[in-house]
Structure 1
Amino acid sequence: MPDDGGLTAAEAAARSAVVSVTSYDVTLDLTGLLTGEYFGSRSVVEFTYDGTGGPGMTWIDLVADRVEQVLLDGVPLDPDEVVRGDRLRLAPLGGPHRLDIQARHHTASGRGLSKTTDPTPPTAPTAPTALTAPTALTAPTALTAPTALTAPTAPAAPTPPAAPTAPGAPAPAASTRTAPVAPPAPAAGCVGDGVDAVYAWTQFQPFDARRAFACFDQPDLKATFAFEVRVPPNWHCVSNQRETEVVEDGDTAVWRFPPTPRLPTYATAVCAGPFHVVRSEGMAVFARRSLAEPLEANAGEIFDLSRRAMVLFEDAFGVAFDGDSYDHVFLPDQPGAMENHGCVTWNDQVLYRSEPTAEQRRRRALVLLHELSHMWFGNLVTPQWWDGLWLSESFADWAALWAAAELGVLDRRWSVATALEKERAADADLLSSTHPVSRPIPDIATTEANFDAITYAKGACMLRHLVTLIGEKAFLEGLRMYFTQYAGANGSLPALLTAVQPFTPVDLRSWSRSWLESSGINTLSLNGRTLEQDNPSRPHTLSIGVYAGAPLKEIDRVDVTLTEARIDLPAGVPSAPLLLLDDRDTTYAILRPDQQSIRTLVSAGAELTDPVARNTARRTLRGLLLTGELPAADAVTYAATSLTTEPDPIHLKALATLATEATTIYANPTQRPLLEHQLATAILNRLTTRGVLAVPAASEGAGAWLVLVEALGESAGTGDQLELVERLLEEADLPQSVRWRLLARLVALGFAGAEEIEAEQTRDPDPDADWQAAAALAAAPTAAAKDHALDLLLTAPGIPSAILRTFGSALWHPRHTSLLATRSLDFLERLVPFARTTDWPTAARVARYAFPTSGISQPLITRIHELTPDLPPLLRQTLQDQAELATRALQARPTAP
């Protein structure tokens, strides 16, 4: 469990009023991590106390198992007297001081300094009883390899396979094989004494540097940091700067790093272990040795984009990157990615083990650009306090999209990417937990709950709105002024607006009050010839496309500015089957067209030729689905039609996601098989020609083909469709991630079992294949499989972050509603005890990414409201959001006949 310490905004302001920090010299002794969980730290801090009136009180932050030494200006202090909880109290005289603190720490899970052992196989405290084969669904007879991959015309006569076996469970009588429990042998080149490879790494945002060394752990007390790290002799070490020397000290290697630029504590980093390393002209990439091959395969693309983006950002922002190196460290348990200065850490799932899809490549590129832009937004200029988090995260999201367009990663109009960003933002804005982009943050607990889609996606949408309003040239000129003025220091919203204001006549304070400092999202509704917005009104500038004909073509467009509650359309706008609101994607709102336009979008929206208009159409219908105004069946009809014609792989992926949402969340369980069949039929119509499923070359549309194959893995349900999925697995050259997805579908519907999962695990070279196998096993339609999956999910240390979504979707499979009805309540009752054995952030990730989507009920929602008052803000908000989403889904579903 995390400590109950913390920091309030008032305390931080009071401390920074009297304390300024010059430098840290930090020594970390990680040699004990090879066989244990403890490490040592020594933190030597040069700081100045500027309080008036002589002696005064302050403190330095430290989370440690034992404080071994405290020296203030060379004078020993008794740790038993000065340590109070997670604060080391000081009573310094005015002026400069030198504080020397040595301590012992325990490794954490994703907070402070963490330890990862490679590999980490799935285990559970107890194995479930043996599984029995499903009875509701049967599988086809074994397939023989056909000479051509053809789409079957009828389901084969079924014979049920062996049921899947959860890890550690005895095999059912029908099978002689079980999924492996023991981890595979260590990869070649790992630690040579027979133990698995150990890796250590830090994650300090927002308030966890104190878990690794004593520091003034708040963003406005910036300083330089020089690290010395003691590690086993065969380890590599990487930090914010390039090492100056590595020396031997007996059986220990000592890595020394020069002082950094002035940084906030949270942007510092140390990573160590027997990494495989690839270097290229001032940059390097690091990964565990078992991923040496994918690291080598992905390094060139990562270096190339990093280098081109560095040049772009330096030119655009007018300030050169102030580090001496720029490295990427890929780790198995990192929750996401972190912008440590010059040493970005990632979850190593982005080191794709096979050729990435277009969507995977786009997603990785946007994360890379987001983290690189943080070298300016957050590291060079740091928010004063965490109420300025959006000044880092919203800007980084905006900068990533802008740079992606400039560098050719996205089309110049950002069509799909901005639509997806707006969807993320609107989803969060529709919840009661919505909040202004810029708002007061009273303490660290609230800060942790503020890393959300409002702070990231909505803020980025607002910045794009501002750029559209004032022009890109003016915006970049203002940013150059801001970076120049506050380099190495701290910024704020008023400082930013002051820097940009000289370059535009727009009143930025007024704009900020409307868009950044107020919460919620407007709904723009077309009622007859009147365009209306709900309160509070904001200024919206948008175009309305007028479409008619078969196929649909734009016959007119009208630009309107809506500043009040309503406005009548100009008299010259013709009547037409479709009036598409915001078809140029220039504002931020929920779009509600007239009923005739909604019907046209459902039946003919796929006919729109302009990609921006098509994205607006999809975003419009999805918004209506989420608010219960569009039946799931209509959303599926639109998506199924669009899937047969959409050329862009990324938009195609978004359409497939919409279809999955409609069938799994917003459809009544009795509807799902029929809607899934409708989707699968549409996909097969596109995938096949005259009954033959042709596999295209990469240059001939393989990106779109793979998206459709993945979508088939979410919708195939009849015997002939599932037989085709089996044939794809046997004969097509599919990325491994797609193979696991298809296999999980077969397992969920009873067409595959433990033998097939074990064979796939053997085939998969990924050191994390154990977890993919565990997810496939979680998809099995048996009580034992579901119970064992819950054990894996809710027993410390739980499921790795990178696999949570996959594992959750398998566990809560939409075809298993009756099986999961009571287990959804079991999930909730076990979540809080799980948090007490891990930590609240880990539990919140589980609640966000692996929350039940099947088996949801009013009793589940009621129980959430009973639990949440006593929970910390991060987990409380996450569960309340999930309760609201579940309520919305239940209300949207039609009553079963």
Structure 2
Amino acid sequence: MTALRREEAEARARALYIDLYTVHLDLTRGHRTFGSRTSIEFRAREDVETFLEIDPVSLESLALDGTELDTSLLAGNRFPLTLPAGPHRLDIAATMPFSDSGEGLHLYTDPVDDRTYVYTMSFLDNAQKIFACFDQPDLKAAFDLTADLPETWKGLANGVPSITNGSTFGFATTPRISPYLFAFAAGPWHSVTAEHAGLPFGLHCRRSLAEHLDAEDLFAHTFDCYDGYAELFDEPYPFDSYDQVFAPDFNHGAMENPGMVVFRESMVFRDEPTESERRARNITVAHEMAHMWFGDLVTMRWWDDLWLNESFADFISYRLNDDWTDFTVKRVPWGTDSDQYRSTHPVVPPSVEDSARAFANFDGISYAKGATCLRQLSTRLGEEAFFAGVNAHLTRHRFANATLEDFLRSLDEHTDQDVRAWAGEWLRTTGVDTVSVRKSASSETSEIVSEKDHRLAIAHFVPSPDSRPSDGRTPLVLERSDDVGTRDLEGGHHRWKPLVLPDHKCQTYAKIRPDGDSLRLAKERLSDVDDGLSRAVLWRIFRDLVRDGEFSPRDYISMAAAHLPGEDPIVAESVLANARRVVADLYLRGSDREEALDALASVSRSLLEDKNLYLPALRTLIDCSTDSFPSVPADNHDLAWRVLLRRCVLGQAAPRDIDERERADFSKSGTEWAAKCRAALPDPAAKEAAWKTMFHSGATPYLVAAVGQGFWQPEQRELVSGFEERWLDEASNVKGTAMAMTLARQAFPLNTAGKSMVDRTGAWLARPDLNPSLRRGVSDKLDELERAVAVRGGESRGTDSSGSATPR
């Protein structure tokens, strides 16, 4: 499929104005193809040579203003058009393929009850796999949809159902939206409906998951989000309904289709979720609803302004949930890590050449870095001025497209600060600034150093004068918090307290480096700090120090053991995951790793006594066990599979054990767990079979991800070493964006590889024929591997564990 180049999109947008798509889908032809008929009413502003996009099995007919055109002119996914200025109508009939990759119109048959479901994924340029269109974000139009469905099916779409005539469904005509936001789902969905604020709301999942759909919680949070945004935004909710569909095989966390959001199905919890998982779902619900304004009502003109969608939705969703602790330990590190990769780019890149390259920018820069920069901007301007500018922007560009310049123009009206200079410094540059505190030689005074001017709060913690703890430990209490600009403090020396923590409210985008004395105190007494968000910031600092080779991985494990009891569940789960999956698996080898797993198992056992930490502690204990395993509830599929996976890794389970567990959990999730377990068996034949599934079976991205996660185990480095070079050869032939990203993110040999793989991968990335998404994903993994190799080298030389760090 030919990707749309930016200059082509700009020329077409200048020449055309699209009024209406009338789309009819026929889903009664079986499970391989469906019928697609489209009428497009539009205008050419001038005489123009342009093209229409469609990616069919067969193009049956195409008529322009009633005149049939030669269908053999279709070249790939483009049909050439010669248009005189004036109004026009295109009528297209085609047979389209159902997808099994989560792109286009995806079809899924449930192994539990043999029921079939379909849903669209029109993003990024996949609308043309469903119907004929001018597939770019700034050619918005109204959509009028009807569909013929099999008996017992129901249809869902961007608008409310307007007709139901036997097996034909029709839906209300939408306001003007981009083709990539077209949404439709059909099947025998289990549905729960409600009304709120005069609007219909719905929740939908496969029938075999009906008992797990916690509609009460989901509706309660959804309504809270709706009410919160109604207070925040001047523009009312812009669509006629709000459905949330939990879809199988969905490749992303969620998709913000107007009026019909699609979520990854794992957000319907089959087993008891952790507090972190609950809050992550709440954030995702809020994020997608924020898109109804940022992305759907007002849409970026081209993919270089992707941040106008994602950064805003990220920032607004965390603000609405008032969950800056989660933001601190999860979102900010995603941004700062991504910004240190060789593939980093500005939040607003200078150019996105085509739609194929646009997909790679859905990353920690466009989401997390952009969101953190917006939090800094809101802090600098003040919330009143910031949201006044935001609301002016939404009203001025409603149901249209906008750019960064449009947004800055709206902010200009409500502040006297130079927002363009700010955007140039923060949104158009790459790299992570470091805010450092440096003590004088006498250690009596300190100064703050940074490249950018950050507006932030600096915390001063002192031992509590009133505390008489029975355990002999004195809390470190917040004596004061100074709201400052870092440039105002540069070069000045200040008498600060024993523990000085810049940005303790997580208000800016930077790596934070307290002075050496503060770090040493925090290392010993982090759990004594009496402010939860400040502790989260400190945990993030130590995480970054380990990653940068400035703090011992073994000492990080020791800190987890010393300071996690009693910690916020979100922070504790994040630290446990980082300690197990990154520090132990990537940064430690041999006996050091074994000791780390033993230490994590020990601290996990101690955390089982805390009901708020029980589930993440139990999961970590299972993942660190080497002989005996904790007992788990028989009805908890997740925990039972975790135990079996760990036993498989250690060679303590056989294929028949996997078969038995799969029979007990005959579900989509069970199939994926079973594939992961089979790939984890320390047996050459099992590895070869898993390899075939990854590269030569036509498996879905979900199944490939499961196999990739099971395949590369640190305990099996010698067994899988021969597969590393084969991985590069096999991955070179991958087709499709979804599979490319899955292989890079979920199946790269990061856990087992060393310096030789670094060298081979660097040379491999120089190949000119690689899928752009594959190249980007593997490039990022190479950065992680290089960092891991460097940290291991520093650890083997005996990294200083004093807690002192030098800003980088």
Q: Same fold (TM over 0.5)?
A: yes
1:652 matched to 2:572? The reply is yes
C-alpha separation between the residues in 2 aligned to 1:735 and 1:607? Answer: 35
- 1:595, distance to aligned residue in structure 2 (A): 3.4
Aligned to 2:637: 736
Out of 710, 714, 718, which is 2:619 matched to? 710
Structure 1 residue 523 displacement after superposition: 1.9
Give the equivalent residue in structure 2 for 1:354.
Answer: 271
**Would you say the 8 A contact 2:458–2:500 is kept in 1?**
no
Cα pair 2:315 2:371 within 8 Å, conserved: yes
In the alignment, does 2:604 pair up with 1:683?
A: yes
Aligned equivalents of 1:799 and 1:115: distance in 2?
11
Q: Note the C-alpha offset of 1:560.
A: 7.3
Where do 1:250-261 residues align within 5 Å?
A: 253-261=167-175
- 1:202 and 2:134 aligned: no
How far did residue 355 of structure 1 move?
Answer: 2.7
Q: 1:601 to 1:572 in 2, by over 3 A?
A: closer
Asked if the contact 1:437–1:454 (Cα under 8 Å) also holds between the matched residues in 2, the reply is yes
CA distance in 2: counterparts of 1:796 and 1:348, whole angstroms: 24
Distance 2:26 2:590 in 1: 56
* Counterpart residue type for residue 883 of structure 1: L
Mapped to 2, the partners of 1:447 and 1:617 lie a distance apart of 35
Instruction: For 1:486-497, list aligned pairs within 5 A.
Output: 486-497=397-408
Report SS of the residue matched to 1:33: coil
Q: Which moved more, 1:348-357 or 1:422-431?
A: 348-357
Asked if structure 2 preserves the Cα contact closer than 8 Å seen for 1:670 and 1:896, the reply is no
Q: Does 1:40 align with 2:54?
A: no
Task: Tell me by how many angstroms 1:642 deviates.
Answer: 1.9
Cα deviation for residue 832 of structure 1 reads 2.4
| Alignment counterpart, residue 739 of structure 2, candidates 816, 821, 842 | 842
Question: Which digits, 9 at most, give the CA deviation of each residue in 1:548-595, with x for residues without a partner?
Answer: 585451475574756559824534225x3x433333323221122333
Corresponding position of 1:153: none
Task: Say if 1:585 and 1:545 are closer, same or farther in 2 by CA, change over 3 A.
Answer: farther
2:85 counterpart of 1:94: yes
Q: 1:806: Cα distance to partner? A: 5.7
395 and 214 in structure 1: CA distance in 2 versus 1, 3 angstrom threshold: same
Residue in structure 1 matching 2:19, options 19, 22, 33:
22
Rounded Cα–Cα distance in structure 1 between residues aligned with 2:544 and 2:437: 15
Correspondence for 2:803: none
Is 1:310 aligned with 2:226? Answer: yes
Whole-Å Cα distance in 2 between the matches of residues 815 and 607 of structure 1? 36
User: What code does the residue aligned with 2:38 have?
Assistant: S
SS in 1 for 2:377: helix
Please state if 1:851 is matched with 2:748. yes
Amino acid at match of 1:74: G
Tell me by how many angstroms 1:17 deviates.
Answer: 0.7
Contiguous gaps of at least 5 residues in structure 2: 441-445, 465-472, 798-808
Residue 279, structure 1, aligned to residue 193, structure 2:
yes
Aligned pair partner of 1:867 in 753, 756, 764 = 764
Deviates more, 1:205-214 or 1:780-789: 780-789
Partner in structure 2 of residue 553 of structure 1: 476
CA pair 558-113 structure 1, distance change in 2 beyond 3 A? closer
Residue from 802, 806, 810 that aligns with 2:710? 810
Confirm or deny: 8 A CA contact 2:450 2:486 kept in the other structure: no
Which residue of the partner structure matches residue 60 of structure 1?
Answer: 52
| Residues 1:757 and 2:658 are matched in the alignment | yes
Query: Any idea what the Cα deviations from partners look like across 1:587-620, whole Å, max 9, x if unmatched?
Result: 2211223334333333322222211111111000
1:828 is aligned to 2:720 = no
**Deviations 1:168-208 (Å, cap 9, x if unpaired)?**
xxxxxxxxxxxxxxxxxx42xxxxxxxx3222221111111
Counterparts of 1:544 and 1:390, CA distance in 2: 31
Contact 1:111 1:202 in 2 (8 A): yes
Which letter does structure 2 place at the counterpart of 1:680?
A
Q: Which residue of 2 aligns with 1:465?
A: 376
Which one of 70, 91, 103 corresponds to residue 111 of structure 1?
103
Determine helix, strand or coil for the equivalent of 1:794.
helix
Structure 1 length normalisation: TM-score? Answer: 0.82
* Correspondence 1:587-602 to 2 at 5 A: 587-602=508-523
Q: Is the contact between residue 42 and residue 103 of structure 1 (CA under 8 Å) also seen in structure 2?
A: yes
Q: Among residues 31, 44, 48, which one is paired with 1:49 in the alignment?
A: 44
1:240 shift after superposition: 0.7
The within-5 A match list for 1:515-664 is: 515-529=426-440, 531=447, 533=449, 537-547=452-462, 550-551=473-474, 553-554=476-477, 556-557=479-480, 559=482, 561=484, 567-568=490-491, 570-574=493-497, 576=498, 578-646=499-567, 648-660=568-580, 661-664=582-585
d(CA) in 1 for partners of 2:103 and 2:370?
26
Corresponding residue of 1:667: 588
1:363 & 1:245 partners in 2: Cα distance? 37
Q: 1:878 to 1:417 in 2, by over 3 A?
A: same
User: Within the alignment, does 1:455 sit opposite 2:366 as a pair?
Assistant: yes
C-alpha contact (below 8 Å) 2:16/2:43 kept by paired residues: yes
What amino acid is aligned across from residue 321 of structure 1 in structure 2?
Y
Q: For residues 560 and 322 of structure 1, do their structure 2 counterparts lie closer, same or farther at Cα, with a shift above 3 Å needed?
A: closer
CA contact (8 A) 1:290 1:767 kept: no
- Asked if structure 2 preserves the Cα contact closer than 8 Å seen for 1:240 and 1:270, the reply is yes
Distance, in Å, in 2 between the alignment partners of 1:789 and 1:639 is: 35
**1:869-884 equivalence runs, <5 A:** 869-870=767-768, 871-884=770-783
> Does the Cα contact within 8 Å between 1:245 and 1:257 map onto a contact in 2?
yes
Q: CA RMSD in A?
A: 2.3
Partner of 2:490: helix, strand, or coil? Answer: strand
**Are residues 685 and 334 of structure 1, via their aligned partners in 2, closer, same or farther at CA, if it must alter by over 3 Å?**
closer
What is the CA-CA distance between 1:325 and the residue it aligns to?
1.6
Query: 1:369-388 alignment to 2 at 5 Å?
Result: 369-388=286-305
Rounded to whole Å, the distance in 1 between the matches of 2:50 and 2:679 is 52
Are the counterparts in 1 of residues 435 and 513 from structure 2 also a CA contact under 8 Å?
A: yes
Whole-Å separation in 2 of the counterparts to 1:427 and 1:478: 30
| Amino acid aligned to 1:309 | C
Aligned partners of 1:561, 1:432: CA distance in 2, in Å? 32
Task: Give 2:784's aligned residue.
Answer: 885
**AA paired with 1:26?**
V
- The change in CA–CA distance for 1:896 and 1:587 in structure 2 (over 3 A counts) is closer
- The superposition leaves residues 16-59 of structure 1 with CA deviations (integer Å, 9 ceiling, x where unpaired) of 1110000000111121233xx112211100000011xxx43122
Aligned to 1:431: 341
**How far does the alpha carbon of each residue in 1:208-249 deviate from its partner, in whole angstroms, 9 at most, with x for none?**
11111111111111000011111212211111111111223x
The equivalences for 1:292-441 within 5 A come to 292-295=210-213, 298-336=214-252, 337-405=254-322, 410=323, 414-439=324-349, 440-441=351-352
SS of structure 2 residue aligned to 1:214? coil
Deviations 1:255-291 (A, max 9, x none): 1112101100011111122222222221222222222
Q: Percent identity?
A: 32
In structure 2, C-alpha distance between the alignment counterparts of 1:332 and 1:555, rounded to whole Å = 47
Task: Kindly indicate whether residue 66 of structure 2 is the aligned counterpart of residue 69 of structure 1.
Answer: no
Q: Report Cα offsets for 1:485-523 as digits up to 9, x if no partner.
A: 111111111111221222223221111111111111112
Deviation at 1:533, TM superposition (A): 4.6
Please state how far the C-alpha of 1:743 moved relative to its aligned partner.
2.8
Q: Matches of 2:143 and 2:192 in 1, distance apart?
A: 25
Contact 1:558/1:573 (<8 A) preserved? no
Q: Which residue of 1 aligns with 2:5?
A: 8
Give 1:656's aligned amino acid. Answer: L
Please list every run of 5 or more consecutive structure 1 residues that lacks an aligned counterpart in the other structure. 120-185, 188-195, 689-700
2:416 is paired with a residue whose SS is: coil
Rounded to whole Å, the distance in 1 between the matches of 2:742 and 2:708 is: 11
Alpha carbons of structure 1 residues 260 and 219: separation in structure 2 relative to 1, 3 Å: same
**Alpha-carbon distance in 1 for matches of 2:242, 2:650:** 47
Contact 1:242 1:257 in 2 (8 A): yes
